[in-house]
């Protein structure tokens, strides 16, 4: 299990990815856009969000750095656009870490199954640090 960095951008993620890939001489990233998500009848994706980056990653000198754009209308504050990510193949470990981190913090998305993971959640801990936990199947 490793702690990885997740960076959020306000509509310019693709530009940032290209910049960092060039700076660190990495491979070109594979990009998943919001428009590639499975449709959700409870949420209509705004047209302007369909080409925004939902998820991408770069390997920078042996470290995985993940990237995404925030959806239009979501809060974006420079300085608060970084979170730490824990991915584990151990479901019990994911649940335990999430339970401990949320004490005194604020849950953004409780642990739940998503289209990319059997168990994902995110929160801000009591010290103001953003965390994402993800079951890596």
Asked if 32 contacts 53 with a C-beta cutoff of 8 angstroms, the reply is yes
Q: Domain 84-135's class?
A: alpha beta
Q: What is the CATH number of domain 5-69?
A: 3.10.180.10
The pLDDT score that the predictor gives to residue 43 is 82
The pLDDT score that the predictor gives to residue 100 is 93
Tokens representing 104 are 């005194």
pLDDT per residue rounded down to tens, the chain (137 residues): 788 899 999 999 999 999 899 988 899 899 999 999 888 888 888 899 999 999 999 998 788 999 999 988 888 888 778 888 888 899 999 999 999 999 999 999 999 999 899 999 999 888 778 899 999 87
* Residues forming beta bridges with residue 33, ordered by sequence position: 53
Tokens representing 44 are 């209509």
Asked if 14 contacts 33 with a C-beta cutoff of 8 angstroms, the reply is no
pTM: 0.75
The pLDDT score that the predictor gives to residue 45 is 86
């Amino acid at each position: 299990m490793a702690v990885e960095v997740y960076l959020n951008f306000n509509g310019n993620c693709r530009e940032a990815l290209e910049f960092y890939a060039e700076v660190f001489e990495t491979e070109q990233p594979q990009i998943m856009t919001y428009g590639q998500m499975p449709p959700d009848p409870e949420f209509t994706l705004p047209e302007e969000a369909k080409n925004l980056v939902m998820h991408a990653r770069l390997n920078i000198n042996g470290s995985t750095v993940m990237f995404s754009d925030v959806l239009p209308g979501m809060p974006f504050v420079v300085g608060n656009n970084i979170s730490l990510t824990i991915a584990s193949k151990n479901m019990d470990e994911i649940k335990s870490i999430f339970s401990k981190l949320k004490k005194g913090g604020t849950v953004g998305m409780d642990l739940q199954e998503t289209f990319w993971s059997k168990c994902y959640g995110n929160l801000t801990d009591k010290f103001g640090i953003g965390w994402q936990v993800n079951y890596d199947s």
